[in-house]
Chains A and B, each alone.
Chain A
């Protein structure tokens, strides 16, 4: 008798999806980010070439390796100055609980890093607990407030997001609590859909004017970031630079989200590795590499991913999902509540439900109390600290006294695909595939 075998085309998961659509008439909305097995070239397909005879390493615990990071040197009077090159990306108060937002701000401040407001305006406690706060201006403009903007250390004009480029944000009704509805000027409990594009400019030509508006509103004091989901990165980066960005943020397809149709998370955008390589090439080709700083985001997990990004051309990295995991996301506690959601620790992507078992992606007061702000801030601090140490360890082993001295020559590719994507030679050869 032949062994039972499921289809490679109509897998158990595909069958579940089809039958759910047929039963409900609804497409799937969920949080977290792509769940696909990564078969494309990633940072894991690159390896560093530390020093041996051709280069001299630095002593791990004795010789300094600077992590100081300066962003926005092109036009702003007051560039952002950070102690480390890892920053907390924009995640809204609404998608996240008050406790999570404040904890991220406190933890980032302790290690001299930044956090970002997100698609819901600024929380006073977030500003109070931040050392460096980046104020996002999104198509929705929820809670937009000129006074808050002028309290910020940088303005980020968001065009798109890596997990769902080309579409707007979502906040399902379970999270549109009294407070969030008031902050966003929405009816309580409505499923909030954000517009996909800004209401007052269309493309790069008039985005130049938008950037000037934000500079005028802040007296040219603070840098203007332009953030985009990674799609046609080479062209988009050139256009953003032309529009006057001080800093460009490119968010790859491995980036996370609080809620979006799952098809966007699984089938749109390009990987973060490809994005950083295209972005660097674009800036080099227009002579602005180094003048316009580059932040890379999208599935950055540890200091090694960050070090590889920096070696390939980034000035800094954003983390989002990793920061939430550091807070306790997917930790095996309150397991019965994971089960009630149809999830499990390590396999929970139910941020959209508002029933986050660990108090991060919720507006429920009881659930939120499970996240102690001070303890969570300490974990954020520790995570950012360790990631920075990891970057430093790699940099020292490559002979660099500054993490920003890491360069493509410090890396090789482990697969032909990674070589073609990154423009790095395949390990053991001097050949770059696809070039």
Chain B
């Protein structure tokens, strides 16, 4: 195996521990492209990859795939469970199907691309990086978002962008409802250019296409609840 740059791992009868240990072993032997076949929707595949490798997963995965990643590219051909790419520092995680709740939660850097739909709390506590969902997203996406960019090409669920700090969101479809302290802001040329740059991360065949960048709505924090000494009681009553 030593010296090969691409390998395949058949995960049919393997545990998560065995699969991840084999991935790490291959990386330690300088393999830079790994394909996991028959993943069986197992949880925690490709967690904490710290090298610039390409991990392809030929099927669907469970919770936390690509979580705590720093530098790797993880491609999931199927769908993913909860916590996809959570707490990632850098790298890229792409899912061709749909994803469960909490995708890209606490993301600090890198790019997450979801070709299908995302469930609730997409990008909760996002701290950096960028997230692109070609489909729709569920309840409370970008909740408590701190920094970073979140793009939803389809429709959002309720309470979108609730209680954010400085995350910037873009929505190509309908917003079911805005969350506390969120507001639609005018799009400018910089936003359009930013979106077009982000869409360069969405190459290849996709089941869904995105609207033109100029058709998106921008959502930011209104900053009314950033500080507790806000003494306007109506603001708090409305918010809470």
Which residue numbers of A lie inside 8 Å of B, CB to CB?
24-26, 29, 139-142, 144-147, 149-150, 172-173, 184-187, 189-191, 193, 195, 199-201, 206, 209-210, 212-213, 216-220
A141 lies within 8 A of B226 (CB): no
A80 to B101, CA, bound (A): 33
Contacts A185-B128, A185-B147, A212-B44; A200 near B89 (Cβ below 8 A) = no
Most chain B beta-carbon contacts within 10 A, residue among A25, A142, A149, A185: A185
Q: Which residue of A lies closest to B21 (CB)?
A: A219
A206 and B121 CA atoms in complex are apart in Å by: 16
| Distance of B138 from chain A, by nearest CB (Å) | 13
- Chain B nearest CB, measured from A210 CB (Å): 7
Query: Are the C-beta atoms of B143 and A195 separated by less than 8 Å?
Result: yes
Q: List, in ascending order, chain A residues with CB within 8 A of B82's CB.
A: 200-201, 206, 209
A193 to B144, alpha carbons, bound, how many Å?
8
CA of A275 to CA of B30 in the docked complex: distance in angstroms?
A: 50
Out of B20, B121, B236, which one reaches A199, CB within 8 Å? B121
Q: How far is the CB of A213 from chain B (nearest CB, A)?
A: 4
- Tell me the chain B residues, 188-240 only, with Cβ under 8 Å from chain A: 226-229, 231, 233, 236
Q: With A141-B125, A190-B226 in contact, do A213 and B146 touch (Cβ < 8 Å)?
A: no
Within 8 A of A (CB), among B128-187: 128, 143-144, 146-147, 163, 165-166
Q: Is the CB of B64 within 8 A of A210?
A: yes
Q: Do A146 and B165 touch across chains, with their CB atoms under 8 A apart?
A: no
Instruction: Annotate B52-84 by CB proximity to A: 1 below 8 A, 0 otherwise.
Output: 000000000011100111100000000000110
Supposing A141-B87, A216-B48 touch, asked if A24 and B125 sit within 8 A by C-beta, the answer is no
- Are A185 and B83 interface neighbours, CB within 8 A? no
Q: A185-B128, A195-B144, A201-B82 are in contact. Are A209 and B63 (CB under 8 A)?
A: yes
Taking A144-B108, A190-B227, A199-B124 as contacts, is the C-beta distance between A212 and B43 under 8 angstroms?
Answer: yes
B16 neighbours in A (Cβ, 8 Å): 212, 216
Given A140-B125, A190-B165, check contact A25 B227 (CB 8 Å): no
A144 touches B106 (CB 8 A): yes
Tell me if B64 and A200 are in contact (CB < 8 A): yes
**B165 adjacent to A186 (CB under 8 Å):** yes
Measured in the bound complex, the distance between the Cα atoms of B228 and A172 in whole Å is: 8
Q: Give the distance in Å from the alpha carbon of A220 to the alpha carbon of B16 in the complex.
A: 12
B106 to chain A, nearest CB (A): 4
What's the Cα separation between A216 and B42 when bound, in Å?
A: 13
User: How many angstroms between the C-alpha atoms of A397 and B236 in the bound complex?
Assistant: 58
Question: By the criterion CB–CB under 8 Å, are A206 and B165 in contact?
Answer: no
Complex interface: chain A residues within 8 A of B50 (CB): 146-147
Q: Which residue on B lies nearest to A259, using beta carbons? A: B228
User: Do B165 and A187 touch across chains, with their CB atoms under 8 A apart?
Assistant: yes
A150, A184, A189, A201, most chain B CB atoms within 10 A: A201
Known: A200-B83, A209-B62. 6 other contacts (CB 8 A): A141-B87, A185-B146, A187-B226, A200-B105, A201-B102, A213-B83
In the complex, how many angstroms separate the beta carbon of B66 from the nearest chain A beta carbon?
A: 11
Q: Which residues of B contact A (CB under 8 A)?
A: 16-17, 20, 24, 43-44, 47-48, 50, 62-64, 67-70, 82-83, 86-87, 89, 101-102, 105-106, 108, 121, 124-125, 127-128, 143-144, 146-147, 163, 165-166, 226-229, 231, 233, 236
Residues on A with beta carbons closer than 8 Å to the beta carbon of B47: 213, 216-217
Q: Which one of B48, B67, B83, B228 contacts A26 once the chains associate, using CB atoms below 8 Å? A: B228
Interchain CB contact (< 8 A) of B20 among A184, A187, A216? A216
The minimal Cβ–Cβ distance linking A97 to chain B, given in whole angstroms, is 22
Q: How far is the CA of A104 from the CA of B5 in the complex (A)?
A: 47
CA distance A247 to B160 in the complex (A): 37
Can you show 26 pairs from A to B with CB atoms below 8 A apart? Answer: A26-B228, A26-B231, A139-B125, A140-B144, A141-B86, A144-B108, A145-B89, A146-B68, A146-B89, A186-B165, A190-B165, A191-B226, A191-B228, A199-B105, A200-B86, A201-B83, A209-B43, A209-B82, A212-B16, A212-B43, A213-B63, A213-B67, A213-B83, A216-B16, A216-B20, A217-B68
Contacts of A210 in B (CB 8 A): 63-64, 83
Contacts of B227 in A (CB 8 A): 173, 189-191
Cα-based distance from A195 to B233 in the complex (angstroms): 22
State in angstroms the CA–CA spacing of A210 and B106 once bound together: 14
How close is A282's CB to chain B, nearest CB, in angstroms?
Answer: 26
Find the A residue at minimum CB distance from B88.
A146
Which residues of B sit under 8 angstroms from A145, Cβ to Cβ? Answer: 89, 108
Closest-CB distance, A149 to chain B (whole angstroms):
7
Could you tell me the distance between the alpha carbons of A25 and B230 in the complex, rounded to whole angstroms?
9
